[in-house]
Amino acid sequence: MDFSFIKKEYQNNGFYIIRNAIDSNLAKQIVKHVKWLKSKYPNTRPEAFHHNMLINDPFIHHLLENKKILDIVEAIIGPNIALFGAHYIAKKPIDGMPVGWHQDGSYWPLEPMKVVSVWLAGTHSKKNNGCMQLIPGTHNKRLYKPSEMQKMDLNKYVLDLAIDPRKLDRSQAVDIELNPGDISIHNPFIIHGSNSNKSRKWRIGLTLRYIPTSTFVKRKDWECVFLRGRVEKEIKNIYVKRPIFDREHHMPFDAMDNFR
């Protein structure tokens, strides 16, 4: 599908929402995956199901192979695509943790900072259960350095650094309200965050970070997934092998037979 129309909106606003990007059955399997990870890692909060727990998981690879999402990503970063980050930010009912205001690029060792984030909704993600909020236009500003940010308590916040909210015009923030299967995409410079989830319903999102294969991830032994186009031989990123489904170690899912 041709998603080239997205690029202009994305460039102007720093984000874009695509409704029904994946079908509702796949969105339900995202929720099931989070519950499965919760029993696999009982001592980890579900806001912290990070890259290392996901990168060799066949269900995640199944999602990453989704043609529509890759077409959307291609419209933004071009035809040679890899994933360098995956993270479930799954907020439990009643005490799901907030994400302080930040720009993703402040954290990332990318050369150059060419990257787009996809936020994929497994559940409804609304104002009342702590949806992502972002401040349009801030993608044209400079990146805050980690040294200019506040240290946050990881027992209370999802991320360990945040921009002092008094430095921001939060009256301009927009709520990125999504239904299961919708996605939003956002720019690494845009300032965003989210409130806690005090509602009685889960808020489950999967963030996926895509780079062109010409971007180098300058972090030792960091594993990426090559997804489309061609690998740039002179860029020494590490790409994982496609995993093989194994009932003992992986969640069963609809397309697991393709992973044998």
Ligand X SMILES: O=C(O)CCC(=O)C(=O)O
CB 103, min distance to ligand X, A: 9
205 contributes a contact to ligand X by CB under 6 A: yes
Return the sign of the alpha-carbon dihedral for residues 67, 72, 75, 78: negative
Selected from 117, 196, 213, 237, the binder of ligand X by CB under 6 A is 117
Cα gap 210→61, rounded to integer Å? 13
CB 64, min distance to ligand X, A: 16
CB 257, min distance to ligand X, A: 31
Selected from 194, 196, 197, 213, the binder of ligand X by CB under 6 A is 194
User: Toward ligand X, which CB reaches closer, 156 or 230?
Assistant: 156
187 contributes a contact to ligand X by CB under 6 A: no
Residue by residue, DSSP assigns 191-248 as: EEEE--B-SSS-EEEEEEEEEETTSEE-STT-EEEEEES---TTS--EEPPPP---TT
Cα gap 167→23, rounded to integer Å? 40
CB 98, min distance to ligand X, A: 8
Mask: binding to ligand X, 118-157, rule CB under 6 A, as x and -?
A: -x------------x-------------------------
104 contributes a contact to ligand X by CB under 6 A: yes
Tokens coding 206: 């999967």
Please answer whether residues 181 and 25 qualify as being in contact, where contact means their C-beta atoms are separated by less than 8 angstroms: no
CB 178, min distance to ligand X, A: 10
89 contributes a contact to ligand X by CB under 6 A: yes
DSSP state of 254: T
182 contributes a contact to ligand X by CB under 6 A: no
Please answer whether residues 3 and 17 qualify as being in contact, where contact means their C-beta atoms are separated by less than 8 angstroms: no
Closest C-alpha among 204, 206, 182, 179 to residue 19: 182
Alpha helix positions (H), 99-181: none
User: Toward ligand X, which CB reaches closer, 156 or 249?
Assistant: 156
User: Toward ligand X, which CB reaches closer, 17 or 235?
Assistant: 17
User: Toward ligand X, which CB reaches closer, 47 or 245?
Assistant: 47
User: Toward ligand X, which CB reaches closer, 31 or 235?
Assistant: 31
Tokens coding 30: 């995202």
User: How many chain residues bind ligand X (CB under 6 A)?
Assistant: 10
Q: Which residues contact 67 (CB under 8 A, 6 or more apart)?
A: none
Footprint of ligand X (CB under 6 A): 89, 99, 104, 117, 119, 132, 192, 194, 205, 207
